[in-house]
């Protein structure tokens, strides 16, 4: 069977491994934006080949597809979906695993995702306001309270500002930051021409994050085990937002801090969003879909955003845990024959994935780019781990160079987090730079200490949402009672108001 995989990074490397380990003896072809040495090796080992071309140009992808004439095309990342690559391929008769352009708007437009949840009263929805003009956004921010300011479009894991604002004595400083964040977001979004709205201001929540990925052919929904990603760049959940610095998964389909009931509620939300989305865009959804969730006191399972693809690095976490033929699942989904399919997962095994990034990621990518790096794959395998190549490129001198984002992922598994964490820490030490440029990773990801902390945090929010559930106030948050004006029921608003600095 011939498979063409579109995409360039760590997620695609994980998919490549899942595809080539299939019983269906797949010959893997890859179309990437750059020559990722990991993907290149997987393709060549399977008898296939890696092509380099811009993956967001549908014509490029179709040209390669026509050359290869694959039995299945798997489109990994969201940007090609946003650019209509999947539609273009399907129109030409290819079987594609991946969301169409219209279906992927659930990820592309965070406003659409929120709107859909409100329109159908889907639980786990957050209050939001979206803005097309900067002036409107800035005017609103004068009144805004405890909010998150984010790009209204998916921009690849950056630009979100969580401006917790629960202390009036610090509010003025925060007001200025919100206003500036709105401005920056506006600038960033104006580079894209494919969304109406620029700035999304939404209710801030806190709790424990996790991702619920599924595979669907539009009618049958096959859930995969939950995964927890770590969005902060640095140790102890400090610092910038990133695309994800590592993740953990297991045991079973749950995480140590998510219970069966919460799992089921999450699946219900995901299924309902999928259903409503297909109604709304009037197209069948074929491919991977995911709810990026947070367990909050407000709702219990709460939707932060949705992916119209597998999470990166979330899918890597499943690599050592999937026992059945994953290619068969992808293929059946693409053919609309997923019904009754199962993904066998080793229940007792937990996994820990760590991203290794050059210093400079995520905010000084120019500094982070262009450093020769090497991995001792054999040593890593000797530990029972795998290494995935992400934002790295084959140089003309045959060496591997960083491209500025997360360079590698090490993937480890064991029967306990303690052990998986221990080996993952050894494994990352086999990723080194050749020019002395420092690399970093998060040593706390997967540690028992952090897992315990998440359990405590989950227990805190669990008490809150259960109590709200009993009192019938799930999802509701009353900001303040202003005598004469009543209860301000919009949690986005602050009782304080800030004028422009210059007025």
Partner 1 sequence: MTGFFSLLFFESGWNVHSFVDYGLSVLRHRGGSLSLICWKSGDRVSCEEYGNGETRDRPRSRAVVTALLDRRRVDEHVVRGDRVAVVSDRPSRYLGEVAGIVEKALASAKPHEELSKHLRVLKDVDVPTFTAVSSREEVVAWRSSLGLTPLAVGGYGFDMAVTSTETSLIEVLDADVRRHLLPGEGLYISKNQVRLFNSGSSSRCRLCLFELLYTARHDSIVDGVSVYEFRKKLGESLGRYLESRVDAIVGVPETAIPYAIGLSRSTGVPLEFGFVSTAREARSMLKECVRDRLVAVHLKLNPVRRVLEGKSIAVVDDSMVTGSTLKTVAQLLRYRIGVREIHVFIASPKLVSTCPYGVVALDPETLISAHLDELSIEKYLDVDSVNWLRDEDVDSVADLFRIRLCAACFGRDLVGEGR
Ligand X SMILES: Nc1ncnc2c1ncn2[C@@H]1O[C@H](COP(=O)(O)OP(=O)(O)O)[C@@H](O)[C@H]1O
Binding residues for ligand X, per CB under 6 A? 126, 148, 150, 154, 157-158, 160, 162, 202-205, 209, 231, 241, 292, 304-305
Query: Using the rule CB under 8 A, is 200 a contact of partner 1?
Result: no
Nearer to ligand X, 11 or 371 (CB): 11
Q: Is 434 among the residues that bind partner 1 (CB under 8 A)? A: no
Residue 209 touches which member of ligand X, Mg ion, partner 1, none, C-beta under 5-8 Å by kind: ligand X
- 66: which 2 tokens? 């026509």
Report in angstroms how near the CB of residue 234 gets to partner 1 at its nearest. 3
- Using the rule CB under 8 A, is 436 a contact of partner 1? yes
Which region among 17-25, 63-71, 233-241, 475-483 touches partner 1 (by CB under 8 A)? 233-241
Cα–Cα distance measured from residue 188 to residue 137, given in angstroms and rounded to the nearest whole number: 14
CB-CB neighbours of 443 under 10 Å: 16
From 41-49, 95-103, 294-302, 359-367, give the range in contact with partner 1 by CB under 8 A: 359-367
Q: At its nearest, how many Å lie between partner 1 and the CB of residue 375?
A: 19
First vs last C-alpha separation in the chain: 67
Nearer to ligand X, 3 or 111 (CB): 111
Span 277-316, contacts to Mg ion by CB under 5 A:
292
Residues 473 and 185: their CA atoms lie apart, in Å, by 33
Of residues 205 and 385, the one with the C-beta less far from ligand X: 205
Size (the chain), residues:
503
The answer to whether 177 contacts partner 1 (rule: CB under 8 A) is yes
Phi/psi region, residue 239 (left: phi>0; alpha: psi -120 to 50; beta: rest), is: left
Site residue total, Mg ion (CB under 5 A):
1
Minimum CB separation of residue 160 from ligand X in Å reads: 4
Q: How many residues bind partner 1 (CB under 8 A)?
A: 40
Q: Is 429 in the site for partner 1 (CB under 8 A)?
A: no
Residues 6+ positions from 199 with CB-CB distance below 8 Å = 130, 131, 134, 137, 149, 150, 151, 152, 182, 185, 186, 189
Residue 443 binds what, of partner 1, ligand X, Mg ion, none (CB under 5 to 8 Å, by partner type)? Answer: partner 1
For residue 405, say if its preceding peptide bond is cis, omega within 30 degrees of 0: no
Burial of 295 by CB count in 10 Å (0-12 exposed, 13-18 middle, 19+ buried)?
A: buried
Of the candidates 229, 311, 232, which has an alpha carbon nearest to the alpha carbon of residue 270?
Answer: 311
Quick one: which of 115, 234, 477, 498 contacts partner 1 (CB under 8 A)? 234
DSSP-H helix ranges across 369-473: 377-382, 417-428, 448-470
Q: Residue 70 or 291: which CB sits closer to Mg ion?
A: 291
Residue 333 has phi, psi (to 5 degrees) of: -60, -45
Question: CB 221 → ligand X: shortest distance, Å?
Answer: 21
Does residue 233 touch partner 1 according to CB under 8 A? yes
Bond from prior residue into 327 cis (ω within 30 degrees of 0): no
**Residue 169: exposed, middle, or buried by beta-carbon count in 10 A (0-12, 13-18, 19+)?**
exposed
Neighbours of 117 (CB within 10 A): 21
Give the count of beta carbons closer than 10 Å to the beta carbon of residue 456: 10
Segment 157 to 176, residues that bind partner 1, using CB under 8 A:
160-167, 169-170, 172-173, 176
Positions in the binding site for partner 1 (CB under 8 A): 160-167, 169-170, 172-173, 176-177, 180-181, 206, 232-241, 359-360, 363-364, 367, 436-438, 440, 443-444, 449, 453
Interface ranges with Mg ion (CB under 5 A) = 292
């Amino acid at each position: 069977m011939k498979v063409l995989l579109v995409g360039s990074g760590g997620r695609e490397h994980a998919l490549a491994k899942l595809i080539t380990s299939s019983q269906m003896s797949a010959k893997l072809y890859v179309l990437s934006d750059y020559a990722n040495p990991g993907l290149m090796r997987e393709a060549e080992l399977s008898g296939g080949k890696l092509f380099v071309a811009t993956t967001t140009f549908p014509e490029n992808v179709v040209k390669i597809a026509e050359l290869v004439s694959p039995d299945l095309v798997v489109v990994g990342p969201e940007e090609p979906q946003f650019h209509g690559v999947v539609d273009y391929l399907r129109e030409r008769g290819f079987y594609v695993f991946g969301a169409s352009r219209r279906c992927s708007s659930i990820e592309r437009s965070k406003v659409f995702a929120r709107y859909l949840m409100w329109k159908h009263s889907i639980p786990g929805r957050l209050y939001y306001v979206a803005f097309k003009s900067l002036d409107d956004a800035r005017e609103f921010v004068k009144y805004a309270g405890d909010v998150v300011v984010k790009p209204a479009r998916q921009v690849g894991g950056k630009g979100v500002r969580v401006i917790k604002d629960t202390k009036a004595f610090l509010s003025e400083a925060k007001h200025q930051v919100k206003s500036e964040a709105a401005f920056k977001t506006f600038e960033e979004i104006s580079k894209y021409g494919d969304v109406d709205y620029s700035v999304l201001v939404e209710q801030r929540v806190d709790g424990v994050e996790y991702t619920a990925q599924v595979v669907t052919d539009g009618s049958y929904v096959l859930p995969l085990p939950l995964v927890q990603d770590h969005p902060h760049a640095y140790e102890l959940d400090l610092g910038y937002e990133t695309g994800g610095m590592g993740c953990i998964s297991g045991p079973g389909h749950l995480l140590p801090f998510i219970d069966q009931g919460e799992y089921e509620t999450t699946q219900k939300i995901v299924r309902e969003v999928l259903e409503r989305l297909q109604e709304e865009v009037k197209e069948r959804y074929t491919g991977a879909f995911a709810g990026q969730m947070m367990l909050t006191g407000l709702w219990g399972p709460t939707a932060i955003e949705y992916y119209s693809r597998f999470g990166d690095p979330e899918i890597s976490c499943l690599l050592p845990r999937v026992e059945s033929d994953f290619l068969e699942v992808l293929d059946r989904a693409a053919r609309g024959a997923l019904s009754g399919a199962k993904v066998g997962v080793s229940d007792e095994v937990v996994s820990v994935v760590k991203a290794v990034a050059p210093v400079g990621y995520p905010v000084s990518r120019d500094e982070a780019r262009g450093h020769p790096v090497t991995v001792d794959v054999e040593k890593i395998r000797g530990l029972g781990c795998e290494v995935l190549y992400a934002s790295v490129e084959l140089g003309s001198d045959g060496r591997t160079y960083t491209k500025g984002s997360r360079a590698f992922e090490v993937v480890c598994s064991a029967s306990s987090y303690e052990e998986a964490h221990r080996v993952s820490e050894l494994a990352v030490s086999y990723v080194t730079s050749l020019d002395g440029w420092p690399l970093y990773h998060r040593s706390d990801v997967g540690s028992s200490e952090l897992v315990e902390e998440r359990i405590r945090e989950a227990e805190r929010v669990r008490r809150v949402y259960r109590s709200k559930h009993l009192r019938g106030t799930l999802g509701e948050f009353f900001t303040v009672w202003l005598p004469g004006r009543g209860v301000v029921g919009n949690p986005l608003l602050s009782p304080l108001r800030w004028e422009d600095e210059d007025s």
